[in-house]
Chain A
């Protein structure tokens, strides 16, 4: 297959950045999207040019590292899929593909398609954990948990921290990400003790870092590669209001 690529190139955070056109030829329909860029990069290096910088690691859809906006969608057009799990057979031969980095103020571009997502780590550091220390905990089966709750907690815990929800949102809201972590712990007895402090601290941090508000457009849910549900946002809002009142 052949493709025309329009890729955002930006040498550094201060550089203005622009789209550059590239043609790629003879791409196998079984190649993944990132392998297609690998092939382009090989050609660029052979010509002595700077390859396109992008983040990636596991290439299995689980580390949350790969991040690019493809034809108007974070991680491309296929539902519930990360870029590394997107395959070229999902595109038409000869198609023009537009590739950009995540665009959101709290995620500044570092180079080409790489953005800085450390804001997510800061939100977790604000309280996205249970403050247990190592050792001296009770036997695992001393805390029975209803299967339904464990399953719901697992649904929320599936978030890979990729940031697609923020990139998809017109307000750059991080609500889906934050609510997923808040919900995981809110659904488990272990997480209840600190629940109020946790939700307040995480929301405050999210606001402080410049993430926008949620106005219920659901773009986050539609674009989330792990199908994290917006019911988590509702749960978080209840928690947050409860925490403020009491």
Chain B
């Protein structure tokens, strides 16, 4: 088996990053102008990286699907961003943030990367404030903090319920500054459809489809950075933006990049439940609601049934007949247990027949908080979320409890990267949700924004430079080589194939079917039999797709059905890899819960002896099983324990 080199620097944990920076290679300013970099994605990771690399003097080309970089999926994040500032003086430190993150991820993240994330978290907040991000403030004029699930200190910075929007606008501002200066060139409404690797094995370019003209375009560079977000839309219904997709990562995988831990998918516990087949999207209700809301279902099945039939209302159930199951099962953390724990507990109650609404919902009740704090306080804290809930469901949460259910939210898996955030393909870097690196098997709240910005502002600009230092004599990379030729032909052929099938079913029909299979067989709880069956079903569906999909219109111009078809075709392959990964991982960890591996109380049961590794899959061909590489996870600085949220 190939040896995996994760390039973790020598030395004590707290000095690794400093040591790296002291010894990395630099590119002198006059030479930076001779280097081209492609950045795909303008979310927090891509936007921040493109701006920073542009500031340094490199020539950057940045691409996104939307009409403007300001609209990347990152804009939707609500709750906040973590940092170990310890402004509230409640005992936070870099080590504690690191420790919580590794523990929250069920000891399946790489120690050195996670430590570095915690280490640079404080610089991120400084940077954002300098950019004019309007964070919430105290009357003193200093920054305000709040707490989030999975942590016992207040380390979350926020800008109302619009933190992601404000952070992204900060990065977009920095990017706009560089666009004006001319160091960054912006390409909007472009979708990367393939990665180009040269004879020497280095990533040197991309093929994109201009979504406006339909034309295929070639772009070359000395290095390529993918910051294309997660693949949660594989499940069709998710909290992700509609154009979030896994294609860029998948195309890189098919060109040789390893895909790590695809089975780690985070299911967020507090989303508005599904209510009809026409539904396209699930809406998240911020996790911060769990600070005051209490989660319950009826204790008696008959009551649950009557509520479902609308014969009685939630408020007709007396206190003693309510099961506050999180408080019952996890007395120390109660309603604030991490997301994976809360999600599984909701599913367990609903599967056992206690669900409300359609049967796939539980209550999130503010009655007691309103009685204790008054309606005004609750309104000031969560008013905009309550309004949003009412707008979508037509129910008033001040009067009747909200109904919530878990939904697919975030993918911890992604392309494998080393400590430098470089994939196994030289010159291909991956940042943000698109890589696998920092969260292990589960992501704590307010940590994705932190990771995206840490990668973009403070890590990639250093590590990419280290790679580029010996590229200054290479000269401009041509885009008329046989490798570009071939990649463009491959994309062309895929498009022509899709346009020519002319079958009976729409792209969404397949996407919804795939989503259903994934949710039922590789969703919140998985087992061997279900996964094996799921894999067969995905293979059959994929076959049917290529025989029976209908893509109308013309590829030479805006064609939204073609755009979707290309993405769904990739999801139909990625879904199978996800299920395979889940099948091979015979343990439960974080977002991955194998029913065969649980404690008698129904808690996740890890198997550290056999599975404390990153599973990195290598593509071997369409009809061949992928090859598994194992990167052992070594914890030198923390003691690996069983996660426990029952006692403090």
Interface residues of A (CB under 8 A from B): 12, 27-28, 30-32, 34-35, 38-39, 42, 44-46, 48-51, 53, 55-65, 81, 85, 87, 89, 110-111, 114, 116-118, 120-121, 124-135, 137-141, 143-147, 150, 153-154, 157-158, 160-161, 184-185, 188, 190-191
A28 and B165 alpha carbons, distance in the complex (Å): 31
A60 and B240 alpha carbons, distance in the complex (Å): 10
A147 and B143 alpha carbons, distance in the complex (Å): 9
Stretch at the interface among B33-41, B172-180, B201-209: B172-180
A35 and B242 alpha carbons, distance in the complex (Å): 12
The 9 sampled A-B contact pairs (Cβ below 8 Å) are A45-B561, A60-B76, A60-B281, A65-B67, A114-B558, A131-B177, A154-B136, A184-B132, A190-B131
Determine if B276 is an interface residue (Cβ-Cβ < 8 Å): yes
Contact B275–A30 (Cβ < 8 Å): yes
Determine if B539 is an interface residue (Cβ-Cβ < 8 Å): no
- In the A-B complex, the 7 residue pairs with the smallest Cβ-Cβ separation, listed nearest first, are A129-B173, A144-B141, A137-B130, A140-B129, A154-B134, A59-B281, A153-B134
Contact B131–A129 (Cβ < 8 Å): yes
B139 to chain A: closest residue by CB: A147
Stretch at the interface among B7-15, B120-128, B219-227, B597-605: B120-128
Residues of chain B lying within 8 A (CB to CB) of residue A50: 552-553
Chain A proximity of B435: nearest CB distance (Å): 20
Chain A proximity of B452: nearest CB distance (Å): 14
A161 and B177 alpha carbons, distance in the complex (Å): 18
Determine if B636 is an interface residue (Cβ-Cβ < 8 Å): no
In the complex, chain B residues 37-94 whose Cβ is within 8 Å of any chain A Cβ: 48, 51-52, 55, 66-71, 73, 75-76, 85, 87
Contact B73–A191 (Cβ < 8 Å): no
Determine if B280 is an interface residue (Cβ-Cβ < 8 Å): yes
A140 and B558 alpha carbons, distance in the complex (Å): 44
Determine if B478 is an interface residue (Cβ-Cβ < 8 Å): no
A11 to chain B: closest residue by CB: B557
B133 to chain A: closest residue by CB: A157
B277 to chain A: closest residue by CB: A28
B169 to chain A: closest residue by CB: A157
Q: Do A133 and B553 form a contact, CB below 8 Å, given A57-B66, A154-B134?
A: no
Interface residues of B (CB under 8 A from A): 48, 51-52, 55, 66-71, 73, 75-76, 85, 87, 123, 125-132, 134-143, 159-160, 162, 164-166, 169, 172-174, 176-177, 179-180, 186, 188, 212, 241-243, 275-276, 278-281, 283-284, 388, 391-394, 457-458, 461, 504, 506, 508, 550, 552-553, 557-558, 560-561
A132 and B126 alpha carbons, distance in the complex (Å): 11
Q: Do A138 and B126 form a contact, CB below 8 Å, given A45-B550, A53-B560, A116-B67?
A: yes
Residues of chain B lying within 8 A (CB to CB) of residue A128: 173, 176
Contact A117–B55 (Cβ < 8 Å): no
Contact A190–B132 (Cβ < 8 Å): yes
Residues of chain A lying within 8 A (CB to CB) of residue B140: 144
Determine chain A's interface SS by DSSP, over half rule.
loop
Contact B129–A57 (Cβ < 8 Å): no
Chain B CB count within 10 A is highest, among A32, A38, A56, A157, for A157
Chain A proximity of B221: nearest CB distance (Å): 20
Question: Per a CB cutoff under 8 Å, which of B73, B123, B130, B169 touches A132?
Answer: B130
Chain A proximity of B336: nearest CB distance (Å): 24
Contact B75–A38 (Cβ < 8 Å): no
Chain B proximity of A64: nearest CB distance (Å): 6
Chain B proximity of A112: nearest CB distance (Å): 9
Residues of chain B lying within 8 A (CB to CB) of residue A132: 127, 130-131, 174
Question: Per a CB cutoff under 8 Å, which of A62, A111, A143, A150 touches B75?
Answer: A62
A125 and B159 alpha carbons, distance in the complex (Å): 23
Contact A53–B241 (Cβ < 8 Å): no
A139 and B126 alpha carbons, distance in the complex (Å): 5
Chain A proximity of B498: nearest CB distance (Å): 13
Contact A35–B68 (Cβ < 8 Å): no
Q: Do A12 and B557 form a contact, CB below 8 Å, given A125-B180, A141-B142?
A: yes
Chain B proximity of A113: nearest CB distance (Å): 11
Residues of chain B lying within 8 A (CB to CB) of residue A124: 70, 172-173, 176
Residues of chain B lying within 8 A (CB to CB) of residue A34: 280
Chain B proximity of A212: nearest CB distance (Å): 22
Q: Do A134 and B52 form a contact, CB below 8 Å, given A110-B558, A121-B68?
A: yes
Question: Per a CB cutoff under 8 Å, which of B67, B70, B125, B281 touches A140?
Answer: B125
Contact A58–B73 (Cβ < 8 Å): yes
Contact B552–A49 (Cβ < 8 Å): yes
Contact A57–B243 (Cβ < 8 Å): yes
Contact B142–A144 (Cβ < 8 Å): yes
Q: Do A161 and B68 form a contact, CB below 8 Å, given A53-B558, A60-B76?
A: yes
Contact A31–B276 (Cβ < 8 Å): yes
Chain A proximity of B145: nearest CB distance (Å): 11
Contact B132–A126 (Cβ < 8 Å): no
Chain B proximity of A26: nearest CB distance (Å): 10
Question: Per a CB cutoff under 8 Å, which of A46, A118, A150, A158 touches B136?
Answer: A150
A3 and B561 alpha carbons, distance in the complex (Å): 24
